[in-house]
Amino acid sequence: MFKRLVLGAALTAAATLTLASAGPAFAAPVSAGTPAPGKVANKLFRAWLAADRVAAAKAATPAAVKTIFTYVYRAPDRFDGCSGNVCRFVHTSVRVPGGLDGIAMVVTGSKVTKVYLSRHITEPPTVAKHLFAAWKRGDKYGGLEVATSATVQKLFEVKYDPRGVTHFFQGCSKEPQGYSCAYSYEGGAMLMHVRGSRSAGYEVRSISYLAD
DSSP string, 132-159: HHHHHHT-HHHHHTTB-HHHHHHHTTS-
> What average pLDDT does this structure show over 127-132?
98
> What is the rounded distance in angstroms from the CA atom of residue 18 to the CA atom of residue 29?
26
Give pTM, 2 decimals: 0.83
What pLDDT sits at residue 8? 34
> What is the rounded distance in angstroms from the CA atom of residue 165 to the CA atom of residue 113?
33
What pLDDT sits at residue 153? 97
Q: Which residue has the higher pLDDT, 189 or 33?
A: 189
Judge whether residue 86 has pLDDT over 60. Answer: yes
What pLDDT sits at residue 105? 98
Residues of CATH 3.10.450.540 domain(s) within the chain? 124-211
What pLDDT sits at residue 194? 98
Judge whether residue 115 has pLDDT over 50. Answer: yes
> What is the rounded distance in angstroms from the CA atom of residue 206 to the CA atom of residue 186?
22
Judge whether residue 33 has pLDDT over 90. Answer: no
Judge whether residue 72 has pLDDT over 60. Answer: yes
What pLDDT sits at residue 3? 38
Q: Which residue has the higher pLDDT, 100 or 12?
A: 100
Where residue 212 falls among pLDDT bands split at 50, 70, 90?
A: confident
Find out whether 117 and 71 touch, Cβ atoms under 8 Å. yes
The answer for residues whose C-beta is within 8 angstroms of residue 193's C-beta and 6 or more apart is 175, 178, 179, 180, 204, 205, 206, 207, 208
User: Which CATH number applies to 124-211?
Assistant: 3.10.450.540
What does pLDDT average to over the chain? 87
> Judging by DSSP bridges, how do beta strands 78-84 and 26-27 pair with one another?
parallel
Which of 11-15, 75-79, 146-150 is least confident? 11-15
Find out whether 13 and 73 touch, Cβ atoms under 8 Å. no
